[in-house]
Structure 1
Amino acid sequence: MRIALVYDAIYPYVKGGAEKRLYDLGRELVKRGHEVHLYGMKFWKGSDTIIIDGLTLHGLCPAIPLYTKSGRRSIWEAFYFGWHCIKLIGEDFEVLDCQSFPYFSLISCKLVCLIKRKPLIATWIEGWGWDYWRSYLGYLGILGYWVERLAVFLPDRIISISLHTSEKLKRLGARQKIETIPVGVDLDLINKSTPSSKKSDVIFLGRLLNFKNVDILLSALKEVKAKYPSLRCFIIGDGPERENLESLVRRLGLTENVKFFGFVTDQTKVFALLKSSKIFVLPSSREGFGLCLIEANACGLPVITVDRLDNAAGELVVIKKNGFVVELTAEAISEKILHLLKNPKDLSEMKKHSIENAKRFEWSGIIDKIEQVYR
């Protein structure tokens, strides 16, 4: 099949769970003999069309910032990319899979598919709903909410990456069949990676955004440091909150304990850093799935995540097996970190369960299910 995948942000130029999932999906489909084209904003120099890892990347328009200075997704960028998605009318494809967010691209893709008489599949990473829109945009949230509700009715078929998101889509009014298909992980690459010489006790991987709650993790580390002065924590990722977080590290007296790596472009180096750590902490209030959690499990790390309404990562945790789900407080997070550091036997046992849990998300079985939806 000739498959078109559409999303404004393209990995590896933008590093996030949704971007990485789409890129890895494309690579796996190429391995199956499909011709895969990934359409997004142009983050690279040179030709508008390039080929990487067998994927044909198309820059539909020059890249503009995804986020405002306040760390929120830019509404203007959503309009901008959505408008340029009309250009897909001149492209040749058998099936189009558009990532639902930021919605306006989905509207353009629907128009394109109607004209070309092609099926439109939409992949939903997360559903927001009224409560989240209201907290995110205040009174303007009503506009975001109704755009999201409209978007739900546009695709012919929907792929949701978690049961959490599937339930939200039903509440938003989705009537199509929803296929719940989780994100896959590249276990071969992870298994080939060797631990880094740089060691840490705790590690975080993800964008440095407000809702990731890295500030609460840092507060928890201050409590842990009282009993483990040589505590080491690695923060992998970048984002609008980095400057604030670095300032908080200084105020908390954690300068010698916390290292910020920024974006690590080489995935094998990310896995190497994960394998050289002991505990993965994901204190995010909002996750459509939690790919980094599964990658951490595959590297042998038990995880600590938080019990929040919009955090689907909690679905991936079997308590005391591959991790813990706790309240979003520094006290609750530090308690579990301390427990694992004090009990190496528990840590070792959970490492085994974590690696076993990750095997459920190997790409081969997941690609089988996605191919069925595309056909």
Structure 2
Amino acid sequence: MSSTASEDGLKIAYVYDAVYPWVKGGAQKRVWEIARRMADDHDVHLYGMQYWDGPSIIERDGVTLHGVCEPADLYAGERRSIPQALYFAGHLTVPLLRESFDVIDCQSFPYFPCFSAKAHQLLRRSAFVVTWYEVWDDYWYEYLGRKGVFGKTVEQATTRLPPTIIAISEFVRGNLATIGRDEGVNVVPNGIDFYGVDAVEPAGNDWDILYVGRLSSHKNVDLLLDAVLDAEARLGRQLDCGIIGDGPESERLRAYARELGLSGSVTFLGSVESDEEVIGNFKDARLFVLPSTREGFPNTILEANACGVPSIVVDHEDNGGTAVVEDGVTGSIVDFSADALGREVATLVADDELRRRMSEDAREFARRHDWDRIVAEMETVYDRTIAKQ
């Protein structure tokens, strides 16, 4: 623990509209896991939309939760809702300003709440940090067409708000530098409850391949289905592939699996509410495959690692997952094609000894990312930011 934290304790506010466990995603999980551990030694608050019944301010696991507004849909189809982001930011400013904080850690996306947090820094002299998950830059044009210029402008403006940015990976730090923010950027990666994962029992399935994530277009689960077909042809046998997650692509992907004749090979489990059930399914798997082309630092890779499951990711300029997998050591990085992905799946499924070696290295990688280590790194960044005030 850092010196400032150990002597006095800090009053810390985390800001993110979607609150775990009511909304489950990598960013939500990161915020909650850090906040509840910080609460052992600090006065920790979390500002988000009110997903719970009863009073707007409650305490959970030592963290004071502030529900600043009724929950609104985060997505409009596949896209993050801009009206929702403005709605949350508008309701956040006044409740946040009512209290003083040593540190405010606002999550970067969907940007507008960062401006509310900046107001707190200016008016109440808090140390202001933004945790950054992904840099979109020109991807905004693919996402919104001509209107993407507004998203790109807001993203770049947001990078200039805080004195300190916490990037969740070196990959994200490098991308921030490309859009002009290269000073005051610290890297604190995602973490895993390594020893908690060890205590979870397998779910009782037998997966050759497991996918865990949102079923949206940039996750490229259709490529995974093509690769399953390719790998089955190479191995001369049927594979068992489990797909955990839901999203706008769900029905199309189920239909595509049927079209490929994979109904006996692929099981869509939908959204799984229990973290323990997700971990149990990881422990049932030989491989974790994440064909996404847009990631910052995927928590699912750490979860797979902690379970001793090698990961396969695709090589793409926007895929931060390639910085989390050590090719040939903890998993594999392959070209973005069904042929390359299918070939690697077939190779690893057939080679028990290679998977065993990767499994050992993957677990060691996860051990180095236990949440307790991550929280200590966060405290150090907070102390340095306060000292610069």
Name the Cα RMSD after superposition: 1.4
SS in 2 for 1:310: coil
**Residue in structure 2 matched with residue 283 of structure 1 by the alignment:** 291
SS in 1 for 2:34: helix
User: What do the CA deviations read for 1:154-183 (whole angstroms, capped 9, x no partner)?
Assistant: 012111111111111122222541111111
Distance 1:164 1:366 in 2: 17
**Residue in structure 1 matched with residue 35 of structure 2 by the alignment:** 26
Q: Does 1:81 align with 2:88?
A: yes
**Residue in structure 2 matched with residue 47 of structure 1 by the alignment:** 55
Distance 1:124 1:189 in 2: 26
**Residue in structure 2 matched with residue 360 of structure 1 by the alignment:** 368
Q: Is the Cα contact below 8 Å between 2:232 and 2:346 reproduced in 1? A: no
Distance 1:28 1:207 in 2: 27
User: What do the CA deviations read for 1:326-357 (whole angstroms, capped 9, x no partner)?
Assistant: 11111111111100112111112211111112
Pick from 295, 301, 304 the counterpart of residue 293 of structure 1.
301
**Superposition deviation, residue 50 in structure 1:** 2.6
Pick from 331, 337, 340 the counterpart of residue 332 of structure 1.
340
Q: Does 1:225 align with 2:226?
A: no
**Superposition deviation, residue 56 in structure 1:** 2.1
Supply the AA of the counterpart residue of 2:358: M
Query: Which deviates the most, 344-353 or 139-148?
Result: 344-353
**Residue in structure 2 matched with residue 13 of structure 1 by the alignment:** 22
Distance 1:363 1:177 in 2: 23
Query: Which deviates the most, 311-320 or 48-57?
Result: 48-57
**Superposition deviation, residue 94 in structure 1:** 1.9
Q: Does 1:256 align with 2:243?
A: no
SS in 2 for 1:42: coil
Distance 1:111 1:175 in 2: 23
Instruction: Give unpaired runs (5+ residues) of structure 2.
Output: 1-9, 384-389
Distance 1:108 1:98 in 2: 9
Supply the AA of the counterpart residue of 1:144: G
Q: Does 1:169 align with 2:169?
A: no
Q: Is the Cα contact below 8 Å between 2:326 and 2:332 reproduced in 1? A: yes
Q: Does 1:180 align with 2:187?
A: yes
Q: Is the Cα contact below 8 Å between 2:173 and 2:182 reproduced in 1? A: no
**Residue in structure 1 matched with residue 7 of structure 2 by the alignment:** none
Supply the AA of the counterpart residue of 2:25: G
SS in 2 for 1:4: strand
Q: Is the Cα contact below 8 Å between 1:15 and 1:263 reproduced in 2? A: no
Query: Which deviates the most, 277-286 or 315-324?
Result: 315-324
Distance 2:180 2:191 in 1: 27
User: What do the CA deviations read for 1:65-90 (whole angstroms, capped 9, x no partner)?
Assistant: 11112x01111111111111212111
Correspondence 1:296-311 to 2 at 5 A: 296-311=304-319
**Superposition deviation, residue 146 in structure 1:** 0.8
**Residue in structure 1 matched with residue 386 of structure 2 by the alignment:** none
Correspondence 1:11-160 to 2 at 5 A: 11-31=20-40, 33-69=41-77, 71-87=78-94, 88-129=96-137, 131-160=138-167
SS in 2 for 1:61: coil
Distance 2:58 2:259 in 1: 45
Instruction: Give unpaired runs (5+ residues) of structure 1.
Output: none
**Superposition deviation, residue 228 in structure 1:** 4.9
**Superposition deviation, residue 184 in structure 1:** 1.1
**Residue in structure 2 matched with residue 210 of structure 1 by the alignment:** 217
Q: TM-score when scaled to structure 1?
A: 0.96
Distance 1:53 1:41 in 2: 18
Supply the AA of the counterpart residue of 2:38: L
SS in 2 for 1:134: helix
Distance 2:352 2:181 in 1: 47
SS in 2 for 1:111: helix
Supply the AA of the counterpart residue of 1:11: Y
Supply the AA of the counterpart residue of 2:248: P
Q: Does 1:342 align with 2:342?
A: no
Q: Is the Cα contact below 8 Å between 2:192 and 2:370 reproduced in 1? A: yes
**Superposition deviation, residue 91 in structure 1:** 2.8
Pick from 221, 225, 235 the counterpart of residue 243 of structure 2.
235
Q: For residues 318 and 46 of structure 1, do their structure 2 counterparts lie closer, same or farther at Cα, with a shift above 3 Å needed?
A: same
SS in 1 for 2:207: coil
**Superposition deviation, residue 247 in structure 1:** 1.5
Distance 1:215 1:110 in 2: 41
**Superposition deviation, residue 5 in structure 1:** 0.3
Distance 2:182 2:221 in 1: 37
Identical positions, percent: 41
Distance 1:339 1:86 in 2: 53
Q: Is the Cα contact below 8 Å between 1:153 and 1:175 reproduced in 2? A: no
Q: For residues 158 and 253 of structure 1, do their structure 2 counterparts lie closer, same or farther at Cα, with a shift above 3 Å needed?
A: same
Supply the AA of the counterpart residue of 1:337: V
**Residue in structure 1 matched with residue 4 of structure 2 by the alignment:** none
Q: TM-score when scaled to structure 2?
A: 0.92
